[in-house]
Amino acid sequence: MYELAITGGRPLKGTVRVSGSKNAVLPIICAALLAKSPSIIEDVPDLVDVRSICTLIEHLGAQVELEGGKLRITPPEKPDTEAPYQLVRRMRASFLVLGPMLARAGKAKISLPGGCAIGSRPIDLHLKGFSLLGADITYGYGTIEARARQLTGSRIHLDFPSVGATENILMAAVLAKGNTVIENAAEEPEIVDLANYLNSMGASVRGAGTKIIRVKGVDHLTGTTHKIIPDRIEAGTFLVAAACTGGEVLVENVIPEHLQPLLAKLGEAGVPIFEEQGGLKVYPVKQLRGIKVKTMPYPGFPTDMQPQVMSLLCLASGNSIITETVFENRFQHVSQLEKMGARIKLSGRSAIIEGDRPLHGAVVKASDLRAGAALVLAGLAARGESRVGRLNHIDRGYEQFEQKLRALGARITRKIRAEKMLHHGVHPGIYIGQGRRQEFPGEGKYQ
Ligand code: EPZ
C-alpha cells in the first residue's frame, strides 16, 4: 500500500544513531529458549522481523514483553515442539529455533523455510550438524522433524561458513553431552554476540569469531541481561547514504572494527571517513572512483552491503565491477537502478557498472531488504522525484528508516501509493506524512 516519495539532490547533514543489530538479536531471541529462567535483552530494534520471531517463541510457550527497546523473555518449562508453517514462512530466520527446541525438548518439528528473492537458501548444513550431534532427522511434507533423547558433542566441519548453520549448531551444542568443535565456522560479529550471550548464561563457548569454535556442553543455562551489538549493516547503509549525496554525517553507536571490510572499499572509492566523536564521520566526497568489490563471508566484504554500494558506484567516475559470491540471485536491484538511468551489465556472478551517469527519479520497487535500501539511497542521489514501493521489505530490517533520513535533511515521505488512492476514489494529493493519513470513507485508521 505504501511507497516512499523521495526528492533527491540534497546532501545529508547531521548525526544518526544506529539501532541494535537485527542479525544479532534474532538468534539471541531464539537462544533465550535454552535457559530455565528469564532474560532481558537490551537495545532491541523495533522491526517487523523482531516481532515475527517473538510471535514464534510465544507460540512455543515463552512469555515476551517488549518495552522501550528492552525485551523480557521468560522461557517455557518445556518448549512446544512444533513451529507451524504460517509463522515460519514469514521469515527464514525462524529456522533458528530448531537448535534450541532440539536441545531443550529433545524433538522439534518445523516447516521448511524455503528460498527467498536472493537465493534458494538450503539448510543442509544445519541438518548435517544436528545429525552429527546425534539427532535423527526425518523429512515430512514440507517439514523437518528432528529427534534426540540426548545430543552428544561431535566434530562438525562446515562445507561453507554459513552464519545460520553456525548459530543453530552452536545453540544445540551448548546443552549437548561432551565437547563439540565447529570447523570452518562463520566468523561474523553476530556469532560473537550470540556466544557472549550464551556464555553469560553459563555456557562454555570458546573461539567464536574464528574459524574454530569449541563448545563444552553444560547441564543447564540461566537467564541473563544482554545488550545487543550495534547494527553494522544499518551503519554501513547510512555511511553510503551520506556518500551518495555528498553529505557530512556522523554515524553514532558503531563498532568501527565490524565495518573494516566496507570502510576499506569506501576508502578506495575516495569516500573520506574518520573515527571521531565516538562514531564514524563521513565528509563530502571530492572525486568518487570506480572500484572492484567481491562479497565474501566475514571478514570479507559483506553481501548485505552489496546493493547499497552498487547505488554509490553508479555515481562514480570510471567503471566498477561487483562480484557476488555468497548468494546466487542478489542482483534484482539492477533492473530498478537501470530505470533510474544506471547502466549495469550482468555477466555470471558479476555486475559491471558504467560510471559517469547521473541518476534521475523513477518509480521502482524493492525485491528484498537491502535492495530496498539501495533504491532509497539512489533516490536520495537522483535528480527529481523517485517512488520506492514494496516497503514491507525495508520495514523488516531498518528501524525508523525514513524518519532517521529526514532528520539528516532528506526529502522523503511515506505515503499511500497513488494507484491505491485512485482505487479508493480519492485524489492522491490528500495525505499526511509519517505513514498516517486521512481516513478513507469506511476505512480503518492507519498507524
Ligand atoms: C545470514 O543469513 C543473514 N541473516 C543474512 O542477512 C546474510 O546475508 C547472510 O547471513 C550472509 O552474511 C541473518 O542473520 C538473519 P548463510 P543466513 O547461512 O544465515 C548457503 C539481511 O539482509 N547455505 O551464511 O541464511 C546459502 O545458500 C540478510 O539482513 C547452504 O548452502 O546465511 C548461501 O548461499 C539477508 N546450506 C550461503 O550459504 C546451508 O545449510 C550463506 O548463507 C546454509 C547456507
DSSP string covering 130-170: HHHTT-EEEE-SSEEEEE-SS-B--EEE-SS--HHHHHHHH
Residue pointed to by grid coordinates 560510471: 355
Q: Which residue has the higher pLDDT, 424 or 88?
A: 88
pLDDT in the model for residue 418:
65
Give the three-class secondary structure for 112.
coil
**Can you point out the beta strands (E) in 8-81?**
13-17, 39-42, 63-67, 70-74
384: DSSP letter: S
47-86 tens-digit pLDDT: 999 999 999 999 999 999 988 899 999 999 888 999 988 8
Q: Could you give the CA distance from residue 185 to residue 175 in angstroms, rounded to a whole number?
A: 19
| pLDDT at 314 > cutoff 70 | yes
191 in contact with ligand 1, CB cutoff 6 A: no
Burial 364-403 (b: 16+ CB within 10 A, else e): bbbbbbbbbbbbbbbbbbbeeebbbbbbebbbbbbbebbe
**What secondary structure letter does DSSP report for 78?**
S
pLDDT of 42 strictly over 80: yes
User: Angle at the Cα of 105 (from 103 to 111), degrees rounded to 5?
Assistant: 90
Cα separations in angstroms, 13 against 8, 179, 385, 399: 14, 51, 20, 19
Question: Higher model confidence: residue 411 or residue 87?
Answer: 411
| 431 pLDDT higher than 70 | no
160 lines ligand 1 (CB under 6 A): yes
Mean pLDDT of the chain: 93
Residue 404 CA to residue 17 CA, distance in Å, equals: 8
The DSSP bridge partners found for residue 249 are 14, 282
pLDDT tens for each residue of 143-180: 999 999 999 999 999 999 999 999 999 999 999 999 99
pLDDT of residue 79: 82
pLDDT above 80 for 411: yes
Choose one of 160, 188, 193, 401 to mutate for the ligand 1 pocket test, by most ligand atoms within 8 angstroms of C-beta: 160
Residues paired with residue 147 on neighbouring β-strands, in sequence order: 107, 136
pLDDT at res. 158: 98
| C-alpha to C-alpha distance for 94 and 83, rounded to whole angstroms | 9
DSSP for 350-369 reads EEEEP-S---B--EEE-SSH
Q: Is the pLDDT of residue 121 over 90?
A: no
Specify the ligand 1 atom closest to the Cα of 49. Answer: 15
Cβ atoms within 10 Å, residue 145 = 16
pLDDT at 186 over 60: yes
d(CA 35, CA 33): 6
* CB of 327 shorter than 6 A to ligand 1: yes
pLDDT at 44 over 70: yes
Cell numbers placing 130: 544436528
Pairing relationship of beta strands 13-17 and 411-416 according to DSSP bridges:
unpaired
Quickly state the pLDDT bin for 117 (edges 50, 70, 90): confident
**Closest C-alpha to ligand 1, atom 4:** 23
Model confidence at 436: pLDDT above 50: no
Q: What is the pLDDT of residues 232-284, one digit of tens each?
A: 999 999 999 999 999 999 999 999 999 999 999 999 999 999 999 999 999 99
For cell 537502478, what's the residue?
337
Atom of ligand 1 nearest to the CA of 123: 40
Using the predicted structure, report yes or no on whether residue 196 has a pLDDT greater than 90: yes
Confidence of residue 90 (pLDDT cuts 50, 70, 90): confident
CB 375 within 8 A of CB 333: yes
pLDDT for 447 beyond 70: no
Q: How confident is the model at residue 442 (pLDDT cuts 50, 70, 90)?
A: very low
SS3 content of the chain, % helix, strand, coil (to 5): 35, 25, 40
3-state secondary structure 229-254: CECHHHHHHHHHHHHHHCCEEEEECC
- Burial (CB < 10 A; 0-12, 13-18, 19+), residue 276, is exposed
Q: Which of 30, 54, 116, 314 is catalytic?
A: 116
CA 76 / ligand 1 centre spacing (Å): 28
Alpha-carbon span 311 to 327, nearest angstrom: 18
- Round to whole Å and give the CA distance between 391 and 397: 11
For residue 426, name the pLDDT band (cuts at 50, 70, 90). low
Does the pLDDT of residue 444 top 60, yes or no? no
Lateral strand order in the sheet of 39-42: 63-67, 70-74, 39-42, 225-227
Contacts of 296 (CB under 8 A, 6+ apart): 325, 326
Identify the bridge partners of residue 204 per DSSP, sorted by sequence position.
Answer: 216
Three-class DSSP category at 20: strand
Q: Answer yes or no: is the C-beta of 129 below 6 A from any ligand 1 atom.
A: no
